[in-house]
Structure 1
């Protein structure tokens, strides 16, 4: 008794298409739905202008994580970033986190410069040494108005 074979086939392919769209949205949107292979560390910066959540974290030019949160610490007047780092990467307490610019558009990312012989940073720990972004607009205005 095949009453609706065409409708069943169409429904199956529509369902399959929706699953493909959801999968591609998660993959291309760089959503970290099942990100249990990362651990979090924090880093405080004076200025993180242009940096966004999900910006990459790189070490030696290789992506090793992403920016999970950007918060403001009003007591210390700092921007506090929560970075998600792959578990296979072991950071030490003498590592340096810097806000850098990539490309002509000016996309920002975090560059981790590995330390030498420091103690490992535990999950939930903090990177102490940080370097904020260089503000090109401030440099140009200082040059134009003769304050350099």
Structure 2
């Protein structure tokens, strides 16, 4: 009887360990994000999104206020069109800016929002027009090497 009780406890312990690993994997993979029931969608066009991916965070002052839901191509401007879901309590002015930054030196990229000062708010489905694209480290290093080689 004791052998059977020990087997049950070991089984329960193994199942709890597997459940903990699944929760950890979802957290690390950013798959346990927002529910899209509330909130609203905004768009922004960037000339270069770098390695930005769907489900990347959208931050305002370092606080996550939403996430990227889709990245596609704007056929009229030939720029990358980023679609973002924003929490419902966050109201952004019409002159809001958006930039793509990297978290740390080699971390994931995210969209940083810089609110403006206009009294009117962006409407759901609106577009952020003031954008700054992702910085390409390879281009920066190439420019630095070229400028050093040319003596400037």
| Residue equivalent to 1:113 | 114
Once the two structures are overlaid, the 10-residue window that deviates more, 34-43 or 84-93, is 34-43
**C-alpha contact (below 8 Å) 1:94/1:118 kept by paired residues:** no
**C-alpha contact (below 8 Å) 1:65/1:85 kept by paired residues:** yes
**C-alpha contact (below 8 Å) 1:55/1:66 kept by paired residues:** yes
Equivalent positions of 1:15-94 (< 5 A) are 26=26, 29-31=29-31, 35-36=35-36, 37-94=38-95
Give the drift of 1:24.
Answer: 6.2
Give the drift of 1:14.
Answer: 9.7
**C-alpha contact (below 8 Å) 1:45/1:131 kept by paired residues:** yes
Unpaired segments of 5 or more residues in structure 2? 1-11
**C-alpha contact (below 8 Å) 2:34/2:66 kept by paired residues:** no
Distance in 1 of aligned mates of 2:114 and 2:42 = 15
Cα distance change of structure 1 residues 147 and 114 upon mapping to structure 2, 3 Å threshold:
farther
Which has the larger share of helix? 2
Unpaired segments of 5 or more residues in structure 1? 1-11
> Which structure 1 residue ranges, 4+ long, deviate > 4 Å from structure 2?
12-28
Give the drift of 1:79.
Answer: 0.2
Distance in 2 of aligned mates of 1:85 and 1:79 = 19
RMSD (Å) for aligned C-alpha atoms:
3.0
Distance in 2 of aligned mates of 1:38 and 1:21 = 30
Give the drift of 1:20.
Answer: 7.4
Cα distance change of structure 1 residues 20 and 32 upon mapping to structure 2, 3 Å threshold:
closer
SS in 1 for 2:98: strand
Cα distance change of structure 1 residues 113 and 18 upon mapping to structure 2, 3 Å threshold:
same
TM-score, normalised on structure 2?
0.75
Give the drift of 1:104.
Answer: 1.8
